[in-house]
Every structure is written in structure tokens, then in C-alpha cells.
Chain A
Amino acid sequence: MRRLYLFIPLALAVALGVVLASGIGRDTSSLDSALIGEPVPAFELATLSDPDGARTPDVFRGQTQLLNVWGTWCPSCRVEHPELMRLADEKGIPIVGLNYKDNRDAALKWLEERGDPYSVTLFDPQGAFGFDLGVYGAPETYIIDAEGIVRYRHVGVVNEQVWRETLAPVFEQYRQEG
């Protein structure tokens, strides 16, 4: 009987392997946010550049925008940044930044070094708003329509392909409706 216990490590390793292997190639829509179709949760946050200015969900009123969650501690955000710059500069896409669990000086330096694609960057050092939004990690990108309703959520890096195939169609749809 006791011998069976010694197979536990093997069983665990195999189970982990099976989970990983079966996951390969699964559908990507499994991480839909519970907030899709709901208004952006209430918040009152300072912005990165202005510690005293308080912003509310009103920043999402008036036009369809992207909300991009990022932090200087996040290597994937470094990869994503040039694409955000391209979207902002070449396509004129309005992007609201959410600087998530980060430090203000580091974040400002980041934007100074790499360029600032955001119309405004909300500063959420404790991750409180991120929690309400259901952020898993960074980067994440949301499409929010002119009424302030969350329409789409993308977890992970936005690159040219993700934008073209996934985000742009949704974004255009809501921009035309609004």
C-alpha cells in the first residue's frame, strides 16, 4: 500500500503535463470578462501626471476608446508599447492608460523614454480599480464604447495581428454605433 504513495509525484507530474498538453490550441475566448455589456465600475483616481486631479468614469464618455492596463514591472508591456504608439500616432485611436500597481516616477520615466500613447493615464498604485475591473495581470486591453460600457476584453499583448484581426473590428463597430 505504502508503495502507492511513492507514485504521487509521478501522478502529479503527469496530471500537470496533461493539463498543459490539452490546453494547447484551445479557443481564446475563454477569458471573457463578467463586465462585458456592463458600465465601467465606479472609480475616482488621480492621473499619472497630476497627483491632485481626480478622474471618474466620465473619461470614458463621448467616444469609443481603448483602456490599456500596464505597469513598468511588466516585461510584456515593454513588448506591447510600440504597437500602442503606432495605434495612437498613425491611427489616432484614443487610448486611456491604467497604470496598475506601479510607482509614479518609474511610470513617468517609462513614458518619457518610450513615448506616451495615452490621452490620459489613470494611476492605480494599490490596484483597487484593477480589482473591480477583474484584471488578471498586465497587459490587458478593453474596448469601452461612448456610453462607458465595456464591450470587449483582451488579455495579453496587443500586437499588429491582434489589433487587425480581433480588436479593430469590434472597435470600428462600436465607433460607428456611437
Chain B
Amino acid sequence: MNPTPNERLLVAAMAGGDPGIKALSAGREVDFVERVPHEVGLTIRHEKWVDGVCRSERSVRHQVADPALFTAAAIRLVDETAPTTMRSLPCLIHQPEAAPTLVETLVGALASRVVLVFEDTPYNGSILRLENLADRCFVPDQTAAHRWSGQHVVTADIARIDEPEPLAVLMAGDAAADPPATPEAHRVLIVSYFGPPSTLVSVQRLSYWHEHLAPLAAEQGTNLHVEWLTATAAGRHHDRVRTVMDRSDNLTDSRRAQLAEMHSMKLPTIGVSWLDAAAAELDRWTDPFDTVIISVGPFGYVDLGLAVKERWDARVIIDFRDPYGGDARMGFTLERRTWANTHERAAIEAADAIVSVNDRCLDVIGRGIDIERRIVNNGFDDVSIDEAREGFVNERNDGLIRLAYCGTIFRHLPLDDVLDALHATRHRLLHAGRDQSLSQALAHTVVGRGLGFITDGVELNRILLGCDAGIIRVGGEATTATTKVFDYIGCDLDIIVVTDGAPRSGALHQMTDGLEGVFWVRNDPDELAEFFATYVPTQAPRPERVSFSRRAQTQNLLDLILTDRSR
């Protein structure tokens, strides 16, 4: 018997136990795989359920909890009852957090689509990959959902394994369609590991391009069609977004040597296993693309351009949101840096242009390679800010100076000295984001107020519009220029840069030099006290504001895309 995908699915319980398999198998055929961990090794149990009845049961014991062994054993057990075509089974995984690396390989081999049902919400690299390849993630309750939103890159809904929603979502999956043919248009493909609906800042940048490049081009009389290829499975529900699953490091035969080398040097490998899957997906499409923008960070697929050139001879633009080998924050050893630089170089030599967020980054990327380089900043989301301004009334009349800090307060860049420098009768500091500082002082101080993690851009912008200044906290590295500076500019706030390094230096200074209302102060208690004792908001308009908008920056990218056509 070879059941159709809609009638057959795989349910895996990664922490053991019965997830309500009898009910799950009502009206369908279910392969139930249960992982039972022991002190040494594990047992893999398989039950075949058909329409609420258990038809067979087998188990196998392994002394080694290896992902590939686990998957091979599971495949064999599943196949013994009914042959399985690889990558054809919808998979419902309960408690993937118990053994995420095993789940990666299992779904990589078997799954056509995946729904994950968590009981707990830890975060690590393996879970990051899993949540990205899942159609949907579920957590058990509101508390877990709140914890989830603080760290994970996709949103999670609330449901337990024995509730109907996870199964309903899984079985409602639709087949992916090929990109439509648009022969008259200049066809642009954006490629990135993370895509919508992920909440990452990088996705916001690319989402804007995906939405606004074509209308922007149309204003200039050019017909542009933009598609997006990503590993984020839930992205396929978005218009013009195609997805291809990252089927894990264990299932990529051609990249085995590269992965081994990267593992031995403790380099991040995310994206490497996805590269061949992405290239194979491109092979299936009939119509070529004229321009391919490969957006990296993660860097595992940075050399996808080679495959693109082989297939379409398209113009390849690599978007480095951060430097790769030259990133001072990565803390690479000499050996690792050399490998990363070589990897980066090979990718750039196959490309036609590179873009990044500032000059300092462009300087360290592909040093010495003669290639077109452009700055395309993140910019502030003008659409979101305009929406926030509608009907906004600044009701403050308390004489307090309101400071905003958006984003994560990092452990190595705390705001402790800033908080201590503020006056309770003159200042208030509003924080939207996560607090990873050791002191967590913001929760206690009378001058500060934590607003939590705000995902709604319009809501966040309304908060910013009610403030006088935005604070940026930097460590002094030359290449750092945070995205929040654009939000502050977009909302006409003063910018106060608190730095561990030299004031007025690096990429951030390059970007803001000459702007009104930008203040630099060292993260020193005395200097901060002196600054805030006398600081008065400038409320000065910036005529250059519009050039920092995402629209203006996207125009830079559009100019780069269309430049080639004119040659």
C-alpha cells in the first residue's frame, strides 16, 4: 500500500509518552515513532496505527544517540510496515526540544512539511533551524508564548498536542507552486535563509525590498517582478515567496567535507546544508531570473552565486548585512578567520556587486577584490512611521525628558551607568526589548520602565514619537552601526550614543556626522552624570531625514539592480 500524503503522516514523541495517538490516527494512517532515552543510548519504538487501531509495534535499541542512526532506524521501522517515499510524509513532532538534532535529521529525511508542538521553550542553534523549517510552532500556554517571543525568530501559537489545531494545520498543507512566468519584467530573486514571517530585523529589511522594489521601479517606468526564496517554511503562505527546506547537515552528501572542516574549526554551519537544496530548487524553475540578491548572515550559502551563474548567468548581488571573515565581533581565531575569508572571497569573485550597511563593513568585506560596492542601509520604515503619526497626539506636559532604548540590552553593553546618571525628577527611560544585563536594574529603578518585547512596528513607533531622544549603546567597534538609529531618525529623536570606545568614531559616526541632535558620551559615570545634568532636547528638524528612509535606501538598491540593464 502506498497511501497518499494526505492520508498518512508521521507523529514523533521525542520525550516519550503517548501524545494521544489513537485520536490522531482517526480516519488516517499514522506512523508513531517514540524516542525513549536511557542513561546510555535510546530505544526507538514504532507503532503503526490505522483509523484508531494499532496494527503493529516494534522497537530497536541503540547504544549511541546519533541523529543519523536514529533516523536510519526510524526509516527502516516505518518502511517495514509500508514503503515510504522520502520527503513525502507530513510530520507532527511532539517535544522537539528534547532532542532537536535528532528531529532535524528525521524531518530532513522524511518530511514534506512539519508542525512542531513544544512543551518547553529553550533556544539553541538546532531549535533555530527547526522552527525555521516548520510550517507552524505551538507552545502550551500564554506563559510559554511570552517566553518564546523573547528569543525565537518565528511566532508560536498556543495549543497542546492533544488539541485539534496542530494536526489541522499540518494536514491543511498545500503544494508549492512555481513562480509565475513574467517574461516582460526584469525578474529579481531575493535569497535568504530566514524569511517571512520570521521576526528578525534582517527579514524586515528584505521584506521591504520584496514589497517595494517593484512599485518603486514602476514609478520610474520599469517593470520589475520580485520573488523570494527562503528556508522559512511558513513563508510559502506569503505571496511571491518560495520555500525549500533545509534538510540538515546529515543529509547533504556533496558538502560533507566542507561541513567537517567547518565543524572542526567550530565555524557556524547554518545554511551550508541548505545551499544544495536551494540550487536544486532553482533547477526546477523554468524561467530564469535577471538579478539574484543573496542576503547573508548566516553565511553557509554565501557561494550560492556560483550555482546561479551556472544556471542563468544572472547578475548576482551579495547583501552582507554584517561582515563575514572581517567581523570583529565574531572573535574568530586566525585559522577560522582565514577559512572564512577564503570562503567569502570565492563567493564574491562569482558575484557582480556587494552591498552592505555602511562603508566600514564594505571596507572589510572581500578586501582587495575589485567589485562594485554600494551602501544600502536598513533605513527607517517610512510606511510604519507614517501610520504611527496618523492621529498621534503628544500628550506630555510633565516636563520630563523621555529617553527611549529599543532592542536588547546586552550583557556586555549594559545601561547601568546611564540609569544612575538620570535624575528622577527630570528623566524617564523607556525600554522596548529584552534585558540581558546582569543587574536587570531597569526593573528596579524609578527612572526606567520596561515595555517588553514589542513586535508591532506601528505601536513601537508611537512610543518613540512620544520621546525626546533615543539611546544607542555601542562597544566602540568600527563596523557597528545599529538599525535602531534609523528608527530614531525616522521619529525625529535626538540620538545619544553611549560608547565604551572613542566618541565620534566608527561607522555610526560616519553615518550620523553632520546631523543635528547627535550626542556622544563615554560610558563613564562622571561623564554621563555631567551630560544628563545639562542635556536639553534639541527638537531640531533634520533636512536629511528622508535619505535615511528605507524607501531612499531601497532606491539605492534599485539603481544597482537596473544599472546592468543599461549596459
Do these two chains interact?
no
Residues in A lying within 8 Å of B, measured CB to CB: none
